[in-house]
Structure 1
Amino acid sequence: MVRFADPRPRVRYRSAVHPFRFGVTAGRVPTRETWTDLARRAENLGYDTFLMSDHLGHQLSPVGALAAAAAVTSRIRIGALVFANDYRHPLLLAREAATLDHISKGRVEFGIGAGWNMSDYRQLGMRYERPGLRIDRMEEALVVIRRLFAGDRVTHAGRHYHLEGARLAPAPVQRRIPILIGGGGPRLLGIAARQADIVGLLTQFDRHGRPIASQATEGETARKVAIVRDAAGSREAFERLELNVLVASAGLIGSGASPLGSVASALKAVAPKVVGGTPYLLHGTLAQVRETLLRRRDQLGISYYVWSARLAEPMAPVVEALAGR
């Protein structure tokens, strides 16, 4: 059994609990058939969400790829983890999400972030500006997007965006598209607590996309949950939020999934003794992983886990044991 490096949090952050949900994230696939097979397999294995990132590297474009995934599935929710706000005007991004909601018959989960990948900005010919300015743009865009999702006709004159009489027609199928915002720092976590339905608890990254080791511990995650709780404004508002973690590496003993030793590679040389106490790693027997997830939900409120699609089958026993419970 992996021993945790951090003292276990002693504060129980919420009395109400959300049922467990599990998702997979995919991207680099060689053919259309491989992509649609991944989506079908995730649904058949009981996963709740089929997600992908939004980068300009060697991967499919998210909107077209997610539409293809929606067309071959009927239950699993689809979305980006997450759309980079700076790459699209908020009206266009809201329109893409509404279109996906129609194609999927109301199964979109909308993730949005401020953007962080320097290579993407370089390819787009965009300035890689300070985080505060990127977050400013995302926060303003989110105001516009939420109004568009609600069916409003939007006229907006802000610091970063201007719209005149904009409206989504047709409107999304869902009356309220779930919004996910991920964050590692206090400001983004605060925005997520106030504006999102799902809060992604992220490790913080440097400007080159490398995780900061000290941000990956269980104790640091507890601190982030406390920030979210305080920013939510009330116990009821906090307990409405679903807390999410993107798992960097996972494995069940005897399953063939990635062992503990590979975590250093997954987190770009973060020491395994530090990683051993992080929510971004799941490793052990099925019983041990189940116990860990139940404990973390009880103590921190984390109920929604996502990992790579290549781990979909090896980690399926966890999904079978806990999804919806």
Structure 2
Amino acid sequence: MASFSLQSTPADATGWLDLACRAEAAGFDALLAADHAGSCGDPFVALAAAASVTTTIGLGSYVLNLGVREPMLLATAVATLDVVSGGRARLGVGAGHTPAEWRAVGRERPDVAGRVRRCVAVTEVVRALLDGKEVTVDSPELTVRAARLDSPRPVQERVPLTVGTSNSTLLRWAGAHADVVGLAGFGRTLDDGHRHEARWRADQIEAQLACVVEGAAGRARPPALEALVQTVTVTDDAEAVAAQRAAAVGLTGPELLATPFVLIGTEAEIVAAVAEHGRRWGVTRFVVRADALDPLTPVLRRLAA
């Protein structure tokens, strides 16, 4: 069955807590907080606040820039969120891409390979700390000495791990180790440090999925596949809306509608598209922005029926 998560960040207390309650009532699987230090709220503070007004919805980061986070502090934050939420924490991680986030902490952004190595190293240490192990690492990417998370201990036996990426090496690693692989559809970071080229062509999606499959070889249960949806529009004229947006990503309207990165159409057409994305790509999980909450609420009811 398909599931949907809602990604946002707080602008004020009332709005954020209301969003958490509404997302839970609508049937969203998780509320996810973005992580861009200096331009949005701290995800763990925001999610802990959301935990106080909800009871069932998952609460997670989407996704953390591991280039600027230290594993001991991160593992403590994740475990604390799991405790105060009664076992609802999710951990979403990525390699990061915005140069300003490195400069703000006195570092320079590494090249792609360096960011991927750092992401893997930090994720492995956080996973080990959450599992109750003592960890020592001394590598060019990370130094940790006799780190151990004695308290707080997470409520869940395993906090679910999502790795969000389009990088081939990280997709293979995620295929082998993650619970969920988040397909961002991003290509090269553009000069502004925030926007990206799109990798939405069918052959590009297939290449990304092949990396996940390669990494997951031998796993009894491969990771779930999740798409970060950039556009949600409920409309009676999907072709017209798609045609307006397709050229910007180098696709035709029908090609755009076939990707899991947009959901455009009537409620019934979006339900059918979700099913087709599961059949064609294996994508059964979707992350949408906060402005999709109201348009998707009736869609979620149809999917649950």
Fold-level similarity (TM above 0.5):
yes
Paired position in structure 2 for 1:148? 129
1 or 2, which has the higher strand percentage?
2
The amino acid across from 1:211 in the alignment is H
Counterpart secondary structure, 2:233: strand
Paired position in structure 1 for 2:63? 82
Report how far residue 95 of structure 1 moved: 0.7
> Compared with structure 1, are the counterparts of its residues 104 and 262 closer, same or farther at alpha carbon in structure 2 (3 Å cutoff)?
farther
Paired position in structure 2 for 1:218? 202
Range with greater deviation from structure 2 (242-251 or 167-176): 167-176
2:26 is matched with which residue: 45, 50, 62?
Answer: 45
The amino acid across from 1:105 in the alignment is G
Matched, 1:131 2:107: no
Report how far residue 152 of structure 1 moved: 1.6
Report how far residue 197 of structure 1 moved: 0.4
* Larger RCO (alpha carbons 8 Å, 6+ apart): 1
> Compared with structure 1, are the counterparts of its residues 96 and 275 closer, same or farther at alpha carbon in structure 2 (3 Å cutoff)?
same
Paired position in structure 1 for 2:95? 114
Matched, 1:228 2:207: no
Report how far residue 57 of structure 1 moved: 4.1
8 Å Cα contact 1:218-1:279 kept in structure 2: no
Paired position in structure 2 for 1:92? 73
The amino acid across from 1:148 in the alignment is L
8 Å Cα contact 1:24-1:307 kept in structure 2: yes
Residues 303-318 of structure 1 correspond to what in structure 2 (within 5 A)? Answer: 303-318=284-299
8 Å Cα contact 2:260-2:283 kept in structure 1: no
> Compared with structure 1, are the counterparts of its residues 275 and 295 closer, same or farther at alpha carbon in structure 2 (3 Å cutoff)?
closer
Matched, 1:243 2:243: no
Report how far residue 165 of structure 1 moved: 4.4
The amino acid across from 1:204 in the alignment is F
Counterpart secondary structure, 2:214: helix
Whole-Å Cα distance in 2 between the matches of residues 20 and 110 of structure 1? 20
Matched, 1:196 2:193: no
Residues 255-270 of structure 1 correspond to what in structure 2 (within 5 A)? Answer: 259-260=241-242, 263=245, 269-270=248-249
Paired position in structure 2 for 1:176? 158
The amino acid across from 1:225 in the alignment is L
1:63 is matched with which residue: 21, 34, 44?
Answer: 44
Counterpart secondary structure, 1:290: helix
Report how far residue 261 of structure 1 moved: 6.2
Report how far residue 124 of structure 1 moved: 2.7
> Compared with structure 1, are the counterparts of its residues 261 and 55 closer, same or farther at alpha carbon in structure 2 (3 Å cutoff)?
farther
> Compared with structure 1, are the counterparts of its residues 158 and 118 closer, same or farther at alpha carbon in structure 2 (3 Å cutoff)?
closer
The amino acid across from 1:79 in the alignment is G
Report how far residue 254 of structure 1 moved: 5.8
Counterpart secondary structure, 2:89: coil
Counterpart secondary structure, 1:86: coil
Structure 2 gap segments, 5+ residues each: none
Paired position in structure 2 for 1:166? 148
Whole-Å Cα distance in 1 between the matches of residues 30 and 245 of structure 2? 24
Whole-Å Cα distance in 1 between the matches of residues 244 and 174 of structure 2? 31
> Compared with structure 1, are the counterparts of its residues 168 and 204 closer, same or farther at alpha carbon in structure 2 (3 Å cutoff)?
farther
Whole-Å Cα distance in 2 between the matches of residues 88 and 182 of structure 1? 16
**TM-score, normalising length from structure 2?**
0.90
The amino acid across from 1:230 in the alignment is E
Paired position in structure 1 for 2:4? 22
C-alpha distance after superposition, 1:156-210 (max 9, x if no partner): 3344222214224121100010000012121010111111100011223323333
Ranges of 4+ aligned residues in structure 1 off by more than 6 Å: none
Instruction: Using the aligned pairs only, state the percent identity.
Output: 31
Counterpart secondary structure, 1:50: strand
Whole-Å Cα distance in 2 between the matches of residues 172 and 250 of structure 1? 35
The amino acid across from 1:170 in the alignment is P
Structure 1 gap segments, 5+ residues each: 1-18
The amino acid across from 2:23 in the alignment is A
The amino acid across from 1:50 in the alignment is L
8 Å Cα contact 1:199-1:244 kept in structure 2: yes
The two structures, once aligned, show a CA RMSD in angstroms of 2.2
Whole-Å Cα distance in 1 between the matches of residues 124 and 11 of structure 2? 37
The amino acid across from 1:26 in the alignment is S
Counterpart secondary structure, 1:91: helix
8 Å Cα contact 2:66-2:93 kept in structure 1: yes
Whole-Å Cα distance in 2 between the matches of residues 140 and 63 of structure 1? 21
